Structures are given as C-alpha cells and as structure tokens.
C-alpha cells in the first residue's frame, strides 16, 4: 500500500502479511479485551468498530472499508479496546504487529506510513468530536454522507450513488443520534430533493446542498 518502494522492498512488505482471514457478516474480527497481535488491512468488505460502556451502551467509533487498516486501538495496552464487526462478508490481511515494527525499522518509508495511518485516525476522530459536540442532526448526517461517498469515490465507485452497509441505528450510534432521528433526517433530505433514498440505497442528487448543510457559513 505505501508507495515509493523498490521491487525488493515491496516484496518484503508483502511478506509481513501472515495470512488472509475471511469474516462473515455479523462476525467479529477482534473484540474488546482480546490480546492484540496484529493490524488488519481490509481487502474486501465493510466493518464497524465500536466501544461499549459498562452499562451496555454502544458507541460506533468508525466505519472501515477496503484499503483501510484497523486494530491500532490494541497497541497501547496489548489488548484490543474495541470490537470490530463485519457488516458484510469480508476478507482481511493479518499483519502481525511485531513484524510490522521489525520491518519498519529497516524501511523508513514503511515507518512513516505506519505513523501517518495512526495520525490520520487521530485527526479523523478529532472531526468526529466536532460533529458530536457542535453539529445538529442534519449537519451530522450530511457530513456522514459526504465523507462516505468521498471515500467510495476514491475507490473508483460512484460519486453520487452508494449502498449503506449499516442500519439506521448504527449510523445513529456513530453520529450520536437515535435511529428515528436519522430516519427523519433522511426523509427531510429526500423531500427537499437533495437525495433519493430507497432503503439502504442512497443517490445524492444535490451534493452542493449537502455541503451547504454541513457548512452553512461557506455560502454567505
């Protein structure tokens, strides 16, 4: 995945991948408390990560798709600090973290890549905090849809159409909203002609309108 390697280096990076693992929809890739050994590169499929409070409340902390890395929550304590659940049948590459560290001591490019991935996650979570702390329901959903479609587009998929892999409840958990509120926001966008919604199929008709909702100030 990182660029700028020689053929030989690339080969060594590939060798870090210990094995492929298939995860069926609904199954856990790893769970809270489990010993941490590896990072996982998602090859296909879609995951959610979530944390649970002592009294059982669940907070979805992220949705991850092909090409993204999960498991970094486990490094600090050698145990995972969240659950990773496949939202559709998935395949991941298991990368033992000890091997990643060994090789990244030899390849500065890999080392930098690992640091960037973790930094990116920190920055992403910063913006989620902004969402949860300051935005209203429709702003949150607009931001969510724009982010999702942007990531899908970067993978060669449509800029305007997407299939949600998660329920309204999971979207709500991620955005700090109840499922009914998410549903109402979808309906509102739909009535306003901004999107078309048919179950989990969403078509973005007016991306500009979504951006405007996400960030009203830009348009003054």
Partner DNA sequence: GTAGTCATTTGATATGCATCAAAGACTATT
Partner DNA sequence: AATAGTCTTTGATGCATATCAAATGACTAC
User: How open is the CA angle 65-188-129, to the nearest 5 degrees?
Assistant: 45
For residue 201, the minimal CB distance to its own copies (Å) is 26
- Residue 173 binds: one of DNA, its own copies, none (C-beta under 5 to 8 A by kind): its own copies
**Nearest Cα residue to 94 out of 42, 17, 12:** 17
Q: Taking Cα atoms as reference points, which of 62, 61, 23, 69 lies closest to residue 42?
A: 69
Q: Are the C-beta atoms of 72 and 120 separated by less than 8 Å?
A: no
- What is the DSSP annotation of 120-139? HHHHHHHHHHHHHHH--HHH
Does position 28 interact with DNA (CB under 7 A)? The reply is: no
Give whichever of 85 and 103 is closer to DNA, judged by the CB atom.
85
List the single partner that 167 binds among its own copies, DNA, none, CB under 5 to 8 Å by kind: DNA
187 lies in the site for DNA, by CB under 7 A:
yes
Binding site for its own copies (CB under 8 A): 51, 53-59, 61, 72-77, 81-82, 101, 104-106, 108, 111-112, 114-116, 118-123, 125-130, 132-134, 173-176, 215-218
If the CB atoms of residues 68 and 139 are measured against DNA, the closer one turns out to be 139
95 binds, among DNA, its own copies, none (CB under 5 to 8 A by kind): none
Q: What are phi and psi of 24, to 5 degrees?
A: -80, 155
State the Cα angle at 165 between 160 and 169, rounded to 5°.
110
Q: What are the residues binding DNA (CB under 7 A)?
A: 136-138, 164, 167-169, 172, 176-184, 186-187, 197-200
């Amino acid at each position: 995945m990182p660029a700028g390697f020689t053929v030989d280096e690339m080969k060594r990076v590939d060798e870090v991948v210990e094995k492929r693992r298939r995860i069926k929809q609904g199954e856990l890739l790893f769970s809270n408390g489990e010993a941490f050994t590896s990072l996982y590169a998602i090859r296909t499929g879609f995951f959610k990560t979530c944390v649970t409070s002592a009294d059982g409340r669940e907070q979805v902390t992220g949705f991850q798709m092909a090409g993204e890395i999960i498991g970094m929550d486990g490094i600090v304590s050698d145990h995972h600090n969240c659950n990773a659940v496949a939202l559709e049948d998935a395949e991941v590459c298991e990368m033992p973290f000890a091997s990643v560290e060994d090789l990244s001591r030899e390849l500065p490019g890999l080392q930098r890549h690992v640091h960037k991935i973790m930094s990116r996650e920190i920055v992403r979570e910063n913006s989620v905090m902004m969402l949860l702390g300051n935005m209203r329901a429709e702003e949150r959903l607009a931001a969510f849809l724009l982010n999702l479609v942007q990531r899908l587009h970067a993978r060669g998929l449509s800029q305007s159409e997407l299939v949600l892999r998660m329920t309204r409840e999971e979207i709500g958990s991620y955005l700090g909203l109840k499922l009914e509120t998410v549903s109402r926001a979808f309906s509102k966008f739909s009535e306003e002609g901004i999107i078309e919604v048919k179950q989990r199929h969403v078509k973005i008709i007016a991306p500009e309108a979504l951006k405007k909702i996400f960030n009203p100030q830009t348009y003054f």
